[in-house]
Amino acid sequence: MMYHMVKPCSDSGAFIAEPMHKIKLDMSLCEQIFKDNGYTIKFSSKVILLIEDTIEYPEVGIYPSGKLLFKSTDHEVVSRMFESLKPLLKNCICVS
């Protein structure tokens, strides 16, 4: 699963990771998988899943397209968190 990381604009307070190929996530499955792996689900809907890990990591928005929005401007922290999310995301894909 290949992603590229972008900062949407210079004054954005977030990083976005987007899949390089079109995928679709099963949002209900996604919620279950992240819950089972100890993440706090802050909000769940068919358009976004908002999760939180620990105080060390920022909140992350997960979209059905596979896009991830990290609420942080710290590239290092975001990259570390991204690596920990990737294996779980693989299991959420319903269309690739």
Partner 1 sequence: MVAADSRDIEPENITILISVHLYRITMKYSVVVLLSAGIDSPVAAHMLAESGAHVTLLHMDTRPFTDDRTMENVRSLVKKLREYHPEMAGYSAGFGEMEKAIAQNANPRYQCILCKRNMYRAASKFAIEIGADAIATGESLGQVASQTLSNLVEEDAAVDIPVHRPLIGLDKNDVIEIGREIGTYELSIQPAVCCMLTPKGPKLSCKKDDVLKEEDKLDWGGLIEDLVFEPIGER
Residue ranges of E strands in 15-80: 15-19, 24-25, 40-44, 49-52, 60-62, 68-70
x/- letters, 2..41, toward partner 1 (CB under 8 A):
------x--xxxx---------------------------
Among 41, 50, 77, 88, binds partner 1 (CB under 8 A): 50
Give backbone dihedrals phi and psi of 18, rounded to 5 degrees, phi first: -120, 140
Contact residues for partner 1, defined by CB under 8 A: 8, 11-14, 42-43, 45-48, 50, 59, 61, 65, 69, 71, 73
